Amino acid sequence: MEVVFNLINGKRFFKYSYEEKIELKRQGRPLPDIFIEKSGLSRGKSYTRKFSRDIYFKNDWICGCNKNNALYCFPCLLFGGDKAWTEIGVTDLEHLSLKIKRHENSKSHLHNCMEFALLGSTNIRAQLDSAYWINVQRHNENVSKKRYVLSKVIDCIKFCGAFELVLQGHDESDTSNNNKTSNNQGIFPELMGLINFSAELDATLSEHLKNSSIIYKATCKEIQNDLLQCMLEICHEQIMKEIKNSSFLAIMADEMMDVAAKSHMVVVFRYVHDGEPVERFWNYLNPVRCDAESISETILTVIDPLVQNSPNKLIAQSYDGAAVMTNQHTGVQALIRKKYPFAHYVHCYAHQLNSIMSKAASKNKQIRVFFGHLQDIPSFFNNSPQRIEVLDKIVKRRIPQGTSTSWNFNIGTINVVYEHKNSLIECMDEIEDQFTNSTVCSAAASIRSTLNDPIFNFWLTFFHHVMPHVDILSNQLQQRNIDPAQVEDAINNFEHNIIQVQSSIDNIIREASDRSPEGQDPPENKRKRSYDSMEDAINNFEHNSIQVQSSIDNIISKALDMSHEGEEPPENKPKGSCGNSKFDHRISALEVCDVIINCAKDRFDFKEHLVVASLLYSEYFGKYCGKFPEDKLTSLCSFYPTIDKDRLRTELSLIYSRNDCRTMNGALPLLKFVIANNLGDTLKETKKLLEIVVTTPMATSEVQPRFSTLKRIETFFRNSMPEDRLTALSMLSIEKKLISEIDNFNDKVITKFANKKECNIDLIYKK
């Protein structure tokens, strides 16, 4: 609705309710585009004067009506005054300045401006009353005390989050909170202990704690969660502000598993802030389904609010190795590029190629189980000096340790298990004999059974042949000066090597069969049990054997019942279910080879970001100065059309010719040089090019942060956290440096918390 037109021809301001008046004041004066045009002659020349929006900024009271196409005084329109400015409207642009000056000096106008300014404020008499000011002062003093205590609580929460300390007892169920006899009683014991310790060092805080109940309110579970949510929102606002001020943005997403075996998709943003590449944790996503469409829709709900107004800002995306994520035609990356065409999919240094290939191959259920069993072996020896001692004695070599939060295995683990399988079996036997803990013995027996399993042995042999080629490819692609042609050669060589593995599958099957228990003699050094009394042992054995003989028919009958329970008759079983295991292994292995090859091709399909990086290698500047790399510049601009090609050619030619620029090794030092010397406008296209390189996650760590955010998140997942606060607690732990850099972080959190409807603590100052 047109506000000015309605005030003139409809409901007048004095008929508005108090709430409507306050809302109208909050909305402010209307500043529409209006059509006013006047033509005339001056000194024999014709001229035309038109309305300009600059008129609105001559003062803070003039407004417009796009129905009447006239200017009005907003305060006088509300409270009454000169009809020219309240009913008729001003359209005379030629004498507008004179009319404005005359009107704003009038008494009625000044009176209306004062009425408008005081609308909604406490009445003047109350403001002048000393008792009122005494109450305000007393109120504000109490608020300051409460905000001080709450700020200390927030400091303690930040400390607990930064060092991943549990904020509440493990039993967080509603019953534990409602149970009056519960030791927890809704209070966070670690947090309370830290607050009490802080009070011993802070006399002011100690005094407040003795005389105030706010601490009991501030540490209850509901308010604790509200504070955590406010902290998360403040961090998100800061990250959004930084993204808005950056030129380019990259998104990295990865699937991680916590110690409770719960899967989480983590989102990390990468951009340039103050001349440095930063990677900011954002949140965890939970797609409805695990298909490409659902995952891409979930990711877009995060990206769209940040870059929808500038879609060219998103220049890179990087995911882990699942085919649903990386397939260049139907994967998540392809669906994201439909909306953001310059969001090129690149391989990120934080995604280990071994892990990526294992995830890609794990579409096969047997391989998923194999990796799980493989990880059980190093995990079994972790943090157990007694078991490691047995391992050292028998195997004479320790197994490389992997992360306990996923089955991203170490190639060394495969090699050690493959080469020392018999010794490991003997090690498990020794542990079963020596240890009395039933859990340890059960785990050792399970690993021994796994090492004897033919299926496990087949995949162990298979990946013993495959993964060295993955390792070679990974090392080749991490070279600093690698170019697209070298990447292409490395991928082709990798494909050739995997095809050779495919052609030798029959040999691998035979090798695995020879290594299985059926195809080998028992170890000669198999230990024999000793007995304190041989005669007693023999008598006991004879007695037990007679008992077994007498019940042999029952044992056979029970075994047959258990083996056939729930099975189809033999004649109904599919062919190859039992006798064609070698054929099944062959088919599965061939498929896995194809999956690994396609995964490598999809992951390194886009290589032009390497061309961009090669333009900034200082060791090539002398060469480029003699012959400018025109082909690389053309390729660059085809994939990053926001760059001005001609301007960039000139700027790069200048940089290549200067000796002082040849001492800077890499994109990041050069970007810092440009920013530090205020060359952003002089070398604006070069600066844009440098920001593209630094923003894009590379295969090497040259322009990467010292410790990847994805690695920090992986470390965080080694501790279990309550799921309802997972994102906020992750932010406190992973982005503690960011939080320390936010000005007045605690005050911002308290203000946001105070404005929540659920807040029952008075934390707002009166004026």
**Sheet strands side by side (includes 263-273):** 276-285, 263-273, 249-257, 314-318, 344-345
Output the pLDDT for position 218. 55
Which among 292, 333, 335, 340 is positioned nearest to 315, based on CA atoms? Answer: 340
* CA 609 – CA 693 distance, rounded (Å): 7
Structure tokens given for 467: 């993964």
Place of tokens 């470390």: 715
Helix (H) or strand (E) holding 64: strand 62-65
Give CA–CA dist 762/142, Å, rounded. Answer: 9
Q: Tell me the C-alpha distance between 349 and 353, whole Å.
A: 9
Give the whole-angstrom CA distance, residue 504 versus residue 273.
Answer: 51
Quote the radius of gyration of the chain (alpha carbons, Å). Answer: 37
| CA 378 and chain centroid, separation | 28
Burial class (CB in 10 A: 0-12, 13-18, 19+), 236: middle
Closest listed residue to residue 371, CA positions, set 397, 406, 343, 330: 406
Q: How far is CA 538 from CA 333, 527, 529, 531, in A?
A: 69, 18, 13, 10
Q: How far apart are CA 71 and CA 92, in angstroms?
A: 9
* Domain segments of the chain as ranges: 3-121, 130-229+738-754, 352-521+584-605, 617-695
Look up residue 284 and give its amino acid: Y
Parallel/antiparallel/unpaired status of strands 263-273 and 249-257: antiparallel
From CA 226, how far away is CA 590, in angstroms rounded?
53
Tell me the C-alpha distance between 523 and 567, whole Å: 36
Contacts of 660 (CB under 8 A, 6+ apart): none
Q: CB-based contacts of 515: which residues, under 8 Å, 6+ apart?
A: 421, 457, 461
Give the pLDDT of residue 388.
84
Q: Token pair for residue 529?
A: 């049990």
Q: Do residues 508 and 589 make contact, with C-beta atoms less than 8 angstroms apart?
A: yes
Task: Report pLDDT for 535.
Answer: 58
Mean pLDDT for each consecutive 10-residue tract of the chain (767 residues)?
85 87 90 88 83 89 92 93 92 90 92 89 63 84 86 85 60 40 44 66 69 59 84 95 93 76 83 91 86 88 88 88 59 88 82 65 78 86 83 71 43 82 89 88 91 90 88 78 76 89 88 70 42 55 62 63 50 43 77 84 77 83 90 88 91 90 84 90 92 80 56 69 73 90 93 83 81
Identify which of 644, 601, 303 has the alpha carbon closest to the alpha carbon of residue 473: 601
Residue 661 gets which letter from DSSP? G
**What pLDDT is attached to residue 39?**
85
Strand runs (DSSP E) across 11-61, as ranges?
37-42, 45-50
Whole-prediction pTM value?
A: 0.68
**pLDDT score for 47:** 84
pLDDT at 230: 93
